Amino acid sequence: MITSKEREVIRDLAKKQLEVANSAKNQERIALWKRHNALKGERPVIHIEVDNFVKETIVPRMLCEDPVARWIEGRLRHSMINLTEFDDDKVVPDYLGIWVDRKYNPLGFQIHTHQAADGGLGHQFDHLIEDLGEEFDKIKNSEFQMKDDEFQEHFDTATELIGDIMPVKRVMKSLFCPLTQDVVHIMGLENMLYALYDYPEELKKMIDLIADGYIAHHKMLERDGYLMPTTGFEETNQGSLSFTDELPDKGPVTVGQVWGFMDSQETVGVSHDMFEEIVWPAYWRLGQTFGLLSYGCCEPLDPVWDLVGQFPNLRKASVSAWANEERMGEFLRGTKTIYQRKPSPNFLGVGETLDEDAWREHIEHTLRCAAGCKLEMTVRDVYTIHNDISKVQRAVQIMRESIDRLWQA
């Protein structure tokens, strides 16, 4: 039962969000994102992904105890903190967006996860397949179940609480398809790597079947009206945003009219030839089904750019902390693909103080490597800021100072 005090907290936050959303600063940065994603931006956009350190920023401020009220409160606080406290380029919508989550059993397997005893980040998955050649017959069709009841509860409650202040909308993030992550969740990384050598045909078929499952699921989403436009505040994964005029902003939409996201971090140690022969065909087939594509996470893309760079719909390419920045600049310069840099999270996450000189040089190295490209920088995978928001604020200031001094559009 939501109390009158919780209702007041949520309504006050909604009023604040609407005020921030309509501010001149927010509107200017929305326009910046639109120009940026259209390859017409005059400067890089920057974004601090707060998700992994919410326990130090958002959670301590939470006041609601009712589970649904607390979920809504968290969403409202999360939407504003970047603009109001970090002053990066993350923008604030003038509505509360709620999406339909899903339960996913890849190839029919119920994934079992064991979290670290101390409640930290560490976790491990049960190996549901140990020997792919011996156990291939365990593989079935992937299973997807939309969590409609959970969505409806959140949507109806939010509408009742704040619908007279600002709209509550059903939204969707980009379609997320991490094929080799699914393999690792089923059989573990070591078993996947052994299978690359021992059972290449079986592993290729396994990855193809996972891709088939996503394609069938996307057709269901399209048929049953779950697909929503991804042309504004919707996330494209990697901490980026969807803003575009190249896709329809009103439904119904098809798979070929929305953003998709793919990566293959798990194959970072796999040879180019093995990746191309066994893994890549499913990625190539699935990746072309989307209207616009964002590709890559922590894996360096330069070793496989001859493959990834062929996607005709590729708009954003990850340039992770492990990538060769110079080579990625050479690959992306003059193309229609954005250089999405992920600076090392160690500067913010390791040590209680920010080494300002080292951070500045790190950012300026990126600015030099990405000269002539369309650049955005997303600082993510920071799991602690040592309870010091000023460290994040100063990191953003330094990024802006370096951009102002060095960047030429």
DSSP string across 217-236 = HHHHHHHTT-----SSS-B-
**How many Å apart are CA 19 and CA 308, to the nearest integer?**
41
**Helix (H, G, I), strand (E, B), or coil: what is residue 62?**
coil
Residue ranges of the chain with per-residue pLDDT less than 70:
409
Between β-strands 314-319 and 375-379, what pairing exists: parallel, antiparallel or unpaired?
A: unpaired
Burial-class residue 266 by CB neighbours within 10 Å (0-12, 13-18, 19+).
Answer: buried
Q: What is the CA radius of gyration of the chain?
A: 22
Q: What integer pLDDT is reported at residue 351 of this predicted model?
A: 92
**How many Å apart are CA 294 and CA 239, to the nearest integer?**
11
**Helix (H, G, I), strand (E, B), or coil: what is residue 260?**
strand
Q: What integer pLDDT is reported at residue 237 of this predicted model?
A: 87
- Closest by CA to 275, choosing from 188, 182, 183, 196, is 196
Instruction: Give Cα separations from 380 to 39, 43, 267, 392 (angstroms).
Output: 23, 20, 21, 12
Instruction: Give Cα separations from 1 to 13, 254, 304, 332 (angstroms).
Output: 19, 39, 53, 53
Q: Does domain 4-406 have CATH number 3.20.20.210?
A: yes
Residue 149's φ and ψ, nearest 5 degrees, are -65, -45
Between β-strands 123-125 and 113-115, what pairing exists: parallel, antiparallel or unpaired?
A: antiparallel
- Closest by CA to 302, choosing from 342, 329, 283, is 329
**How many Å apart are CA 372 and CA 284, to the nearest integer?**
27
End-to-end distance of the chain based on CA atoms, in angstroms? 53
Burial-class residue 250 by CB neighbours within 10 Å (0-12, 13-18, 19+).
Answer: exposed
Q: What integer pLDDT is reported at residue 409 of this predicted model?
A: 52
**How many Å apart are CA 377 and CA 379, to the nearest integer?**
6
**How many Å apart are CA 179 and CA 305, to the nearest integer?**
18
Q: What is the pTM of this model?
A: 0.96
Q: What integer pLDDT is reported at residue 406 of this predicted model?
A: 96
